[in-house]
Amino acid sequence: MKDVLKKIKDPYLLFQIERVSSFHGYLSTGAFIGIQMLNIAKRVLAADPGEQLYVTCETFSCLPDPFQILAGCTIGNNKLRVKDHGKMAVLVNKKAPDGQKLVRSIRIVLDPEKTSKYPRLHEWYMKTGKVPHEEAISVLIDVRESVYSYEIMDIELPEKPEKSIALCDKCGESFVRKNGGALCLSCMEKIGVLKE
């Protein structure tokens, strides 16, 4: 991998790679794609350095980690959502200005029509062959951000549901009640009201 990374001249990108590699455990192709997607989002949304972003990743695989360690979007602070749709795509937005519901956002996808011009990268993407991360990342470094497609849209932020804390009628534990039920979600699951 070291030889592949030597091709990168941008010190900031190298810094990002270093942080993501130690957080994720190693530099996977998906993690590298996440870095590129984050950089596209920051540029297109004209985010100031340090400005808070929100992201929805459309897969659990790799993509969330660059956003967690580089952009501070975490599961715990609710700025990272994951929709496990198995897609190499992210939706990124800034914080809505005070009093506004509409917020500018960008959805970025690794575009198979574009990766098809690069057989080894495409093979990695479509899982039609064994392509080592080094090789796929090497292609991504060469072609830069040309294999992504994105659209910009104004999305309406969902209303926050009313929340209250209640004690469960069955187990007695406290839980966040979102819609007036008397039982906690785990008890409802146990009695088969909720199917996982």
Is 177 a binding residue for Zn ion by CB under 5 A? The answer is no
Q: Which residues contact 142 (CB under 8 A, 6 or more apart)?
A: 7
Which CB atom, from 158 or from 172, has the smaller least distance to Zn ion?
172
- The only residue of 171, 182, 193, 194 in contact with Zn ion, by rule CB under 5 A: 171
- Minimum distance between the CB of residue 166 and Zn ion, rounded to whole angstroms? 10
For 16-44, give one letter per residue: b (16+ CB within 10 A) or e.
bbeebbeebeebbbbbbbbbbbbbbbbee
Is 168 a binding residue for Zn ion by CB under 5 A? The answer is yes
Identify which range of 43-51, 110-118, 130-138, 179-187 contacts Zn ion by CB under 5 A. 179-187
Which CB atom, from 44 or from 166, has the smaller least distance to Zn ion?
166
- Minimum distance between the CB of residue 183 and Zn ion, rounded to whole angstroms? 6
Q: What is the DSSP string of 96-145?
A: PPTT--EEEEEEEEE-HHHHTTSHHHHHHHHTSS---HHHHHHHHHHHTT
Q: In whole angstroms, give the CA distance from residue 86 to residue 93.
A: 20
- 33 within 8 A of 20, measured Cβ to Cβ: no
Identify which range of 44-52, 114-122, 136-144, 167-175 contacts Zn ion by CB under 5 A. 167-175
Helices (H), the chain: 2-5, 11-24, 29-44, 64-71, 112-115, 119-126, 133-143, 185-190
Is 187 a binding residue for Zn ion by CB under 5 A? The answer is yes
- The only residue of 170, 178, 193, 194 in contact with Zn ion, by rule CB under 5 A: 170
Is 184 a binding residue for Zn ion by CB under 5 A? The answer is yes
Is 190 a binding residue for Zn ion by CB under 5 A? The answer is no
Is 70 a binding residue for Zn ion by CB under 5 A? The answer is no
Identify which range of 44-52, 64-72, 91-99, 180-188 contacts Zn ion by CB under 5 A. 180-188
Binding site for Zn ion (CB under 5 A): 168, 170-171, 184, 187
